[in-house]
A and B are shown apart, each in its own frame.
Chain A
Amino acid sequence: MKKLMQGMMLAVATLAVCAGAAQAKQLVFCSEASPAHFDPGPTTGGNDFDASSRTIYNRLVEFKHGGTDVEPGLAESWEISDDGLTYTFHLRAGVKFQTTSYFTPTRDFNADDVIFSFERQWKEDNAYYNYLEGISWDYFQGMDMPKFLKSIEKVDDLTVKMTLNEPNAPMIANLGMDFASIMSKEYADQLAAAGTKELLASQPIGTGPFEFVDYQTDAVIRYKAFPDYWAGKVAIDDLIFAITTDPAVRVQKLKAGECDIMDYPNPADIADLQADTNLTVAEQEGLNIGYMSYNTTIAPMDNVAVRKALNMAINKKAIIDAVYQGAGQVAVNLIPPTMWSYNKDVVDDAYDPAAAKAALEAAGVKDLTIDLWAMPVSRPYNPNAARVAELIQADWAAVGVKANIVTYEWTEYRELGKAKDRPGAFQIGWTGDNGDPDNFFATLFSCSAIGVSNYSSWCDPTFEKLIQDAKKVSDQGERAKLYEQAQVVFKEQAPALTLAHSKVFMPMNKRVSGFTMDPLGIHRFDNVDVTE
């Protein structure tokens, strides 16, 4: 019976293969979630960006594969004025927009497209500012673009001048981010004239390596290689996202050959995947940090000695072994070691319960009770905050500090955590947006971020001056020096416990070649090839 069944299945499979397209090179990616839609401007999830900005679109500058350095994209070169206020971009000539069943471009990419792509997120009178019900340009706002941008002007068809209100060295890196993807103004105008602006989000047109073919809601996204891609047609012909929510099922699909590559495996499955001879498991340090913020305005945690003592009482190594299961490393600094300006000379607060206890006594702290906050969800930088909280609770108990573990629903958790007067120690984390250290230091610990994303309510004048100065200098070497000093101040002042940087895994079939893990967590398939 089993033989008969197998025979039948084989016959069916053979038929199925015969019916498929003739030997096109196909790559199937088992992705984690459905994209909200295909406009990278208003969306915020990594799965949204994989499906839109990194496949269909390009930006003025691009992050190098596997790194966070920027390289020319749709801008072939650029100059920054000495005062750091004027950016002149020289655009690539002859770049085509994709031709699909729903749009045929009549002209090449030019300065109008660049201006449109930013103004639609910036100017309220732009026809696309509110083109979908209830959209918000979260990244454009989040990266403070409205604060920095003064104007974007067309000098000629292939030259764009961007003027800033104040110098902002991370600007170039911001322009490599997903929200800065370049749209076709010609297409947008055509849709607006037809009264179907909302199609911009469901029938995308870009200049990127793949063109959109079809999206079957919650199931499959299909792309094909854009034959006239400015950097040359990519090696694979068809790219398919098979949306598979459950990580255990993704693993089964990969093993069964139903997909070639998958994201976010369960840590528990890694060893099994590594042992499979048909698969390779790529891994990389994630550009992220899991940390725990002390509210530095509330006694006794307004005292540096107390914060340091609490840090010393925690056995970070043991937590990482228990919770991250080999997929993490102890975080010494706020930024991960792969990021430029990382200060390797900073010495971490060593695990020393006896010294911690003595320091607490010396500070006159007795019978201390702390609210210890734990996220209700698994995050890339912390797979299980509740477990981390339990381990910290036990470590603190050993030095006479009592911890009450507190948790809320995820959005509520973040809202409550932001409050300036929130008591206790708050677990949270961050995943880098653009590979610039400013994206960690200023976003998370600048004075202006208090009440927003500075969960320590920490405003240290020395630290603040260093990170603000680093924004104004364009030379990376000089900036690195400032950030290195900032890391020293951070460790001395201990506004937070730096817990871990996690590792990210990407299992794939051996027939896949050329895939590079990306520190920013994006999945790009333009360099990938498959052998038959």
Chain B
Amino acid sequence: MLRYILQKLALIVPTVIGITIAAFAFIRLLPGDPILAMAGQHGITPERYEILKEQFGFNLPIWQQYFNYVGGVLHGDFGISVATKRPVMTEFLTLFPATVELATVAMILAIALGIPAGIFAAVKRGSWFDQVTMGVALTGYSMPIFWWGLLLIIFFSGYLGWTPVSGRIALNFFLKPITGFMTIDSLLYGNWPAFVSSLRYLILPSIALATIPLAVIARQTRSAMLEVLGEEYVRTARAKGLSPRRVVGLHAFRNALIPVVTTIGLQVGTLMAGAILTETIFSWPGIGKWMIDSISKRDYVVVQSGLLLIALIVMAVNLIVDVLYAVINPRIRVQ
């Protein structure tokens, strides 16, 4: 098992190097300039421009800038934001819990609804439930989050008045962050109404963010189940006279779970991408919105380090999923 994990870890190294190059190059390939973007309508004097370029090291040859960046990262120094002058790591740690909180709730939602829907659709293959579920899943998968999020707000918050429009918690609650997770912090403070409020603010953004993973998980579960339900051991189980519930739940589902777990792991990346749009629409103060703002300000330092941090986390989650996968299916370890 340890060897298996080490093998997986070894694969991460070239990926990380690739990501540092991609993140570094991507923001520099966009036209624009971080220092000019910061200046107001009066602009900046050419002398000051040169001084600032030097301070941020943007005057150095490009390869040297890259090695300074990687060297900093290896020493745990992710640089200082051009726009806000705060360390990138500080900003990341402030904003990251909000994204994790939203993504976790969205993931729970996607799994809790996606797997049962997929199983049921497979068992009742061809029924109206199957057709409707798969139709909805396809629609969900094709829905642009930006438009979908705004639609949710207009309908549930604007028209029905059931949910708050945007933000993380009602403004009359003022909790100094402990963990940065609003739901956990409100419980730590023992403030029950604040906890309820933070849950209400999670509803719409987590629905918007969960939509695509939910559709993918439901479709994947359905097709995995269909495959397994056709296997001979399932027929054997049925022949033994087991109840349909036991056949589906115990024999079929456990075997169908393997591709589903892989899919769920891959959805972490989708969630991070979706968080960028969801957070922008719902004014959710997480790393997605931070990335968008920093790209538009051409904040090279934030973008190159922020992308790397996000990628590292996605890779860590995928590693955990790979390990889980091996736990569920011992055959993988042998390979």
* Residues 127 to 157 of chain A near chain B (Cβ within 8 Å): 132-136, 138-139, 141-143
Main secondary structure of the interface of B (DSSP, over half): loop
Q: Tell me which residues across on chain B come within 8 A of A135, comparing CB atoms.
A: 85
Partner of B283, one of A20, A244, A410: A244
A368 close to chain B: CB less than 8 A: no
The answer to whether A160 has its CB under 8 Å from any CB of chain B is no
Chain B residue contacts of A255, Cβ below 8 A: 158
Is the CB of A37 closer than 8 A to any CB of chain B? yes
**Interface-lining segment among A10-18, A79-87, A488-496:** A10-18
| B45: A residues at CB distance < 8 A | 141
Chain A window 399-435, contacts with chain B (Cβ cutoff 8 Å), 1 for yes, 0 for no: 0000000001111101100100000000000110000
Distance from B148 Cβ to chain A, minimum over Cβ atoms (Å): 13
> Among residues 19 to 66 in chain B, which have CB atoms less than 8 Å away from a CB atom of chain A?
30-33, 35-45, 48, 51-52, 55-56
> Which residue of chain B lies nearest to A44 when distances are taken between CB atoms in the complex?
B40
Which one of B30, B39, B200, B280 contacts A136 once the chains associate, using CB atoms below 8 Å?
B39
When the two chains form the complex, which single residue of A5, A21, A133, A414 contacts B162, counting CB atoms closer than 8 Å?
A: A5
Q: Which residues of B contact A266 (CB under 8 A)?
A: none
Give which listed residue, B31, B164, B172, contacts A409 with CB less than 8 A. Answer: B31
Question: Is A245 engaged at the interface, CB distance under 8 Å to the other chain?
Answer: yes
Interface flag for A374 (CB, 8 Å): no
In the complex, the answer to whether A198 meets B85 with C-beta atoms within 8 Å is yes
Report A274 CB to chain B, min CB distance, Å: 17
Inter-chain CA distance A171–B143, complex, in Å, is 55
Query: Which residue of A17, A28, A220 has the most chain B CB atoms within 10 A of its CB atom?
Result: A220
Assess whether B223 is interfacial by the CB under 8 Å rule.
no
Q: Compute how far the CA of A198 lies from the CA of B86 in the bound complex, rounded to whole angstroms.
A: 9
Within 8 A of B (CB), among A236-272: 240, 242-246, 248-249, 252-253, 255-256, 258
Judge whether B158 and A216 touch: CB under 8 Å: no
List the one stretch of B69-77, B120-128, B188-196 in contact with chain A: B188-196
Say yes or no for A34: interface residue by CB 8 A criterion. Answer: yes
Which one of B83, B85, B191, B197 lies within 8 Å of A201 (CB-CB)? B85
Q: A134-B85, A252-B154 are in contact. Are A15 and B44 (CB under 8 A)?
A: no
Interface residue count on the A side (C-beta < 8 Å): 66
Whether A15 and B154, one on each chain, are in contact in the complex, defined by CB atoms closer than 8 angstroms, is no
Distance, CA A132 to CA B38, complexed state (A): 14
A19 and B170 alpha carbons, distance in the complex (Å):
11
* Chain A CB within 10 Å, residue with most, of B41, B48, B157, B200: B41
A249 and B282 contact, Cβ closer than 8 Å, known pairs A219-B167, A256-B158: yes
CB–CB A217/B44 < 8 A = no
Q: Is the CB of A242 within 8 A of B283?
A: yes
CB distance from A532 to the nearest CB of B (A): 14
Cβ of A214 < 8 Å from any Cβ of B? yes
Complex: chain B residue closest to A243, CB-CB: B283
* A67 at the B interface (CB under 8 A): no
CB of B37 within 8 A of CB of A18, answer no
Interface contact A252-B158, CB-CB below 8 Å:
yes
Given contacts A9-B162, A37-B85, A255-B158, contact A15 B39 (CB under 8 A): no
* Residues of chain B in range 192-234 having any CB-CB distance to chain A below 8 Å: 192-194, 196-197, 200
Closest Cβ neighbor of A21 among chain B residues: B172
List of A residues within 8 angstroms of B56 by Cβ: 133-134
One of B39, B44, B95, B283 near A245 (C-beta < 8 A)? B283
CB of B276 closer than 8 Å to a CB of A: no
A interface secondary structure, majority: mixed
**Interface contact B52-A136, CB-CB below 8 Å:** yes
Digitize A1-45: 1 where CB-to-B-CB distance is under 8 Å, 0 elsewhere.
010011001001001111111000010100001101100000011
By the criterion CB–CB under 8 Å, are A133 and B55 in contact? yes
Which A residues touch B282, using CB under 8 A? 249
In the complex, chain A residues whose CB is within 8 Å of the CB of B157: 252, 256
The answer to whether B32 touches A245, judged by C-beta atoms less than 8 angstroms apart, is no
Asked if residues B197 and A12 are in contact (CB atoms below 8 Å), the reply is: yes
Task: Establish whether residues B150 and A249, one from each chain, have CB atoms under 8 Å apart when the complex forms.
Answer: yes
Interface pair A136/B290, CB less than 8 Å apart: no
Q: Are A45 and B40 in contact, CB atoms less than 8 angstroms apart?
A: yes
Interface pair A411/B191, CB less than 8 Å apart: no
- Is A76 an interface residue when CB atoms closer than 8 A count as contact? no
Nearest B-chain residue to A179, judged by Cβ: B40
**For residue B54, which residue of chain A has the nearest CB?**
A134
A460 within 8 A of B: no
CA distance A452 to B42 in the complex (A): 9
- Could you tell me if A44 and B39 are in contact, using CB atoms closer than 8 angstroms? yes
B263 on the A face (CB < 8 A): no
Within the assembled complex, what's the spacing in Å between the Cα atoms of A143 and B41? 11
Which residues of A have CB within 8 Å of B40?
Answer: 44-45, 138-139, 142
What are the residues of chain B within 8 A of A430 when measuring CB–CB?
41
Which A residues have a C-beta under 8 Å from some C-beta of B?
A: 2, 5-6, 9, 12, 15-21, 26, 28, 33-34, 36-37, 44-45, 132-136, 138-139, 141-143, 198, 201-202, 214, 216-220, 222, 240, 242-246, 248-249, 252-253, 255-256, 258, 408-412, 414-415, 418, 430-431, 443, 452-453
The 10 closest A-B pairs by CB, nearest first: A142-B42, A44-B40, A20-B172, A409-B31, A219-B285, A218-B285, A411-B36, A132-B85, A19-B193, A15-B193
**Hey, which bits of chain B sit against chain A, CB under 8 A?**
30-33, 35-45, 48, 51-52, 55-56, 80, 82-86, 91, 94-95, 150, 153-154, 157-158, 160-162, 164-168, 170-174, 176-177, 191-194, 196-197, 200, 280-283, 285, 289-290, 293, 298
Add 4 more A-B contacts to A2-B160, A245-B289 (CB < 8 A): A135-B85, A219-B285, A249-B166, A414-B36
- What are 20 A-B residue pairs whose CB atoms fall within 8 Å in the complex? A6-B162, A16-B196, A16-B197, A19-B191, A19-B194, A37-B84, A133-B55, A133-B85, A138-B40, A138-B42, A138-B43, A142-B42, A198-B85, A218-B285, A220-B167, A252-B158, A252-B166, A253-B166, A409-B32, A412-B31
